Chain A
Amino acid sequence: MSSPQKRKRAKRESRLDRLLEMPREITSNEPKITVIGFGQMLIENYKAILEYQEFYIRISTHIGILNINGFSMNLKEMTTDDLLITGKIESIDFESITD
């Protein structure tokens, strides 16, 4: 697990990007989480999947870890940036990394 990506620290938003009103999920590598209803969840800018069970998914991002509890959850689509989860989502909680 010695990928260069993991070593990289969270990218900060620059002043120019804020001036140009660039979307933050593009300029920084903070995750963007979109939840549609209780059954679909899209996570952009994720780093890796730490654990995957039907009832529990643990995803690491650049600013912390995301825990998802639910039932019969599938990883519907997995690309390099996006992760789409479908299934019954019960709760989401975050574990942020503090320097």
Chain B
Amino acid sequence: MYFKILLNYILGYVQIEIEGYYIERFINFCHQQKIFLWNFKKKTEAAATFNVSIQDFRRIKPIAKKSRCKVKIGNKKGLPFLFYRYQKRKIFFLCLFLIMIAIFTLSHFIWNIEITGNETIDKAEIEKILQENNFKIGKSKIGLNTKEVINQIRLQRNDIAWVGIEIKGTNATVKIVEANLKPDIIQEDDYCNIVATKEGRITKISAGNGTPVVKEGEVITKGSILIGGWLEGKFTGTRYVHANGEVWAKVWYTATAQVPFKQLKKEQTGNVENKYSVKINNFQINFFKTLSKFQKYDTIETSKKLKLFSNLYLPIEITQKRNEEYTEIEVTYSKDEAKQMAIEEAKQKIEGQIKQKENILGEQIHEKQTEQYIEVEVIYEVLENIATKEKIVF
């Protein structure tokens, strides 16, 4: 029954007021002719209202005449009347139509490329490869061969183990799994020397196999052979072997740092101005003057892509430019302060390089002072195993 009412809403219906003393007769005539009436309400003794569909309304007129009732049309409801009312608004419908076409066509392009899974590889490098293979923002989704792009990426980079391109809406996600490059493994039965990875003074050398070439206390340079991969016998002559062993040496790490006595220090005033601009594909519209009212300021740019739903990106980008004003203050440090700062700076530089901090044997600090700045050189002495295997090439 509700289905019938809904259908009548789509096809259109009218609210009718009927006046007369033979309303029951009118109802029974309608019943005989199978006319569907609903919401029949009696208003007064001789008047009632009801709803009837447009098609049945034409058939009602003779019935009303027969039962001596007056028919008055009240409200017209339903979609046909709604459309009739909007018939004059042609431009409105034209724009609606155009918007729908625009959304439909724009959703066939890629408007956002996301690259995930890269840890050591730079995003820009992958974007470059993608662009070379004609996979860029603004490309049509139709006729796009992702397999070819994937193959190209895998051919060009051997540090990528797996690439997947997933296109959802207007958003393309490039997933990357990086391959960790394995160092060249020297087989157990290959002949090899042991060479130094760093320069230093040897403190201990213990050869498991092979002939030690250097002695304790000797200063060696990087890459020089420590344990030769050969054995010499009286009767056998020279025989090549797979050398192994440990070589411990004192290695020096140095770092210098300069700290001027007079320094300019930034201090933020707290004054901030926000500027917005809209970027449509590559066309930028600024809503501000490009010049800032501040003399000295830091600029932070954040941009956000518009999207309709979670995956339907539009080619519109809103960029916020935040200018933070700062003032420069001149600070003068004393000699001790500057020295301390320089030492800390230098130490920080070194400590990034040292892997085993417990093996630090000692440190030396040299300083050099001029009128403008103080220069500090920090030397760390570290005990390290500098042995590494190198294949003998004949």
Contact = CB atoms under 8 A, between A and B. Distances in A.
Contact of A78 (B23, B24, B27, B41): B27
Contact of B42 (A5, A50, A53, A77): A53
Interface string B33-59: 010111111100100001000000000
B16 interface: no
A11 B42 CA distance: 33
A76 B27 contact: no
A77 B35 CA distance: 11
A80 B30 CA distance: 9
Nearest to A58: B24
B30 A78 contact: yes
B1 interface: yes
Nearest to B51: A77
Contact of A75 (B1, B4, B37, B45): B37
Interface in A28-69: 48-54
A74 B1 CA distance: 16
B27 A79 contact: no
Contacts of B28: 48-49
A3 interface: yes
A52 B41 contact: no
Interface in B1-22: 1, 4-5
A5 B31 CA distance: 12
Contacts of B34: 80
A95 B216 CA distance: 128
Contacts, number: 52
Interface in A1-43: 3, 5
A74 B41 contact: yes
A48 B33 CA distance: 12
B36 A78 contact: yes
Given A78-B31, A79-B1, A80-B31, A49 B38 contact: no
Contacts of B39: 74, 76-77
A48 B1 contact: no
A5 B28 CA distance: 12
B101 to A, nearest CB: 42
A44 to B, nearest CB: 12
B40 to A, nearest CB: 4
A59 B135 CA distance: 76
Contacts of B4: 77, 79
B24 A76 contact: no
A54 B42 contact: yes
B126 to A, nearest CB: 66
B1 A52 contact: no
A76 B2 CA distance: 11
A83 to B, nearest CB: 9
A80 B33 CA distance: 9
Interface string B95-122: 0000000000000000000000000000
Contact of B24 (A50, A54, A77, A79): A50
A76 B38 contact: yes
A73 to B, nearest CB: 8
A78 B37 contact: yes
A54 B24 CA distance: 12
B32 interface: yes
Interface of A: 3, 5, 48-54, 74-80, 82, 84
24 contacts: A48-B28, A48-B31, A49-B27, A49-B28, A49-B31, A50-B24, A52-B27, A52-B40, A53-B45, A74-B40, A75-B27, A75-B40, A75-B41, A76-B38, A76-B39, A77-B1, A77-B4, A77-B5, A77-B37, A78-B31, A78-B36, A79-B1, A79-B36, A80-B31
Given A48-B31, A84-B1, 8 more contacts: A49-B27, A53-B45, A74-B39, A75-B27, A76-B40, A78-B40, A80-B31, A80-B34
- 9 residue pairs, one from A and one from B, having the closest CB atoms: A75-B40, A48-B28, A77-B38, A78-B37, A74-B41, A49-B27, A80-B34, A54-B42, A49-B24
